[in-house]
């Protein structure tokens, strides 16, 4: 199944990578690999992540080893990445 990122998710990703590059540049390759692996798992098993109760039709998967969660929605022909959220921040409000 095809995976697409929404504009807000791409903004989240850019902000996360900019922060990590500035503060922990040695972590960039590992973080990028973990993101790719998590997205690949979602692509392979889209129903495997838990349902995010606060948003109907949205699932959330943790980014193992890193304090981020990926929120996505399953469509008939694609998986839509909606948001990438740092777990220490308030819940997704937008």
Sign of CA dihedral 40, 45, 51, 57: positive
* Domain assignment present for 51: yes
- The tens place of each residue's pLDDT in the chain, 94 residues long, gives 899 999 999 999 999 999 999 999 999 999 999 999 999 999 999 999 999 988 899 999 999 889 999 999 999 999 999 999 887 665 655 5
Range of the domain at 45: 2-86
DSSP state string for 18-75: HHHHHH-GGGHHHHHHHHHHHHHHHHH-GGGSEE-TTSTTEEEEEETTTTEEEEEEE-
Q: Which residue has 């694609």 as its token pair? A: 78
Number of domains in the chain: 1
Q: Angle 73-76-79 (CA atoms, 0-180°, nearest 5)?
A: 35
**Domain for residue 11, yes or no?**
yes
Quote the pLDDT of residue 3: 96
What pTM does this model have?
0.90
- Is 93 contained in some domain? no
The pLDDT, as a whole number, for residue 65 is 87
Residue 91 within any structural domain of the chain = no
Q: What is the pLDDT of residue 90?
A: 59
Q: Output the pLDDT for position 91.
A: 60
CATH number, domain of 20, equals 3.30.2310.20
In a domain, 67, yes or no: yes
Q: Does residue 92 belong to any structural domain of this protein?
A: no
């Amino acid at each position: 199944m095809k995976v697409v990122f929404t504009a807000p998710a791409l903004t989240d990703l850019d902000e996360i990578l900019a922060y990590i590059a500035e503060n922990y540049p040695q972590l960039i390759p590992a973080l990028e690999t973990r993101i790719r692996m998590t997205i690949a798992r979602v692509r392979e098993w889209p129903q495997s992540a838990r349902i995010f109760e606060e948003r109907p039709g949205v699932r959330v998967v943790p980014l193992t080893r890193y304090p981020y969660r990926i929120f996505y929605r399953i469509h008939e022909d694609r998986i839509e990445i909606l948001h990438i959220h740092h777990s220490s921040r308030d819940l997704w409000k937008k």
